Amino acid sequence: MNLVEPGDRVLILINGVFGVRMREVASRLGANVEAIEFTWGTPVVPEVVEKRLKQETYRIVAVVHAETSTGVRNPVAEIGSLLKGSDTLYLVDTVTSLGGIEVRMDDWGIDALYSGTQKCLSCPPGLAPLSFSDKAMARLKGRRTKVPNWYLDLSLIASYWGKDRVYHHTAPVNMIYGLYQALLIILEEGLEKVFARHRQNHLLLVRGFEEVGLKMLVEEPYRLPMLNTVLCPGEVNELSLRRCLRSDYRIEIGGGLGPLAGKIWRVGLMGHTARKESVERLLSALRKLMG
């Protein structure tokens, strides 16, 4: 909304629902949108992006860090290094990654990132933490046209957030206090420990899946710890198993989306829920239901 103007050339790297959403948002803003699509369940391939960037220039290149629809971690740092020194802005969706795996905005050359409070930050939904680099702020200042949505106009929000405190909207202070506490809890545990807890419980879950004969969708190096995708065995009715997990065991897991509908289960181990008890409870339920 803030960085795209009508006619801007925008490249979206798509390998799941949230990449598709980015394309939809950019095209509604009148951008000249191009996409490179990768098979869902596989990562974006930097070499393919590099080839395109040698032929074309874009105002923005955008990608999702943790694709929640498929369980894939995209190579955000590698893509960022392709854009180094260019005028192109690098936009990254970190909604599911923030608080569960490393997100290094400056080191990876990211100009704008957005996240959410309700995934690995374990906070009520409603806020979208975001960060802009100096380069992104300069792009915002240099717009030819006004930001098309008054409420989301960061140039106005920035003077409210900054020292000037120019009234823009009524801040949802209850949610900000909630976020403050959630961040405090993460920092008290320690970021490295939080990441390790996500990783360990992911590995525990993968091992348990393999023991009951289930196969992971995503190849090992690209798996997300906080969103585990597993192939549904052909002989099981995936929807009724999920319903039964929910009604009888009070466990909710997700189904597949788009081309993966009916083919996978998506198991979240995000923030507070990334713990051994959750993993063991799900595995013991699965053993009963599939045994």
Ligand X SMILES: *Cc1c(COP(=O)(O)O)cnc(C)c1O
Stretch of 93-101, 171-179, 210-218, 228-236 lying at the interface with ligand X (CB under 6 A): 93-101
Nearer of residues 101 and 241 to ligand X, judged by Cβ: 101
- Judged by CB under 6 A, the stretch of 92-100, 159-167, 195-203, 229-237 that binds ligand X is 92-100
Angle at CA 205, nearest 5°, toward 199 and 209? 145
Q: Residue 93, SS3? A: strand
Helices (H) and strands (E) in the chain, counts: 9, 11
Nearest residue to ligand X, using CB? 68
- CA 51 to chain centroid, in Å, comes to 25
Contact with ligand X (CB under 6 A): which of 2, 96, 201, 278? 96
When binding is defined by CB under 6 A, the residue of 29, 49, 62, 95 that contacts ligand X is: 95
- One of 2, 5, 12, 18 touching ligand X (CB under 6 A): 18
d(CA 119, CA 134): 27
Minimum CB separation of residue 212 from ligand X in Å reads 26
Binders of ligand X among residues 52 to 81 (CB under 6 A) are: 64, 66, 68
Q: Does residue 93 bind ligand X (CB under 6 A)?
A: yes
Q: How is residue 290 written in tokens? A: 């599939």
Q: Residue 266 forms beta bridges with which residues? A: 229, 254
**What tokens appear for 154 in the block?**
């960061």
Window contacting ligand X (CB under 6 A); options: 90-98, 144-152, 160-168, 180-188: 90-98
Pattern 97-116, ligand X, x by CB under 6 A: -------------------x
Q: Which ranges of the chain would DSSP assign to H, the alpha helix?
A: 17-28, 46-55, 76-83, 134-141, 154-161, 173-189, 191-211, 238-249, 276-290
**Rounded least distance, CB 93 to ligand X, Å:** 5
Q: How far, in Å, CA of 214 to CA of 250, rounded?
A: 21
Residues at the contact surface with ligand X, assessed by CB under 6 A = 18, 64, 66, 68, 93, 95-96, 116, 125
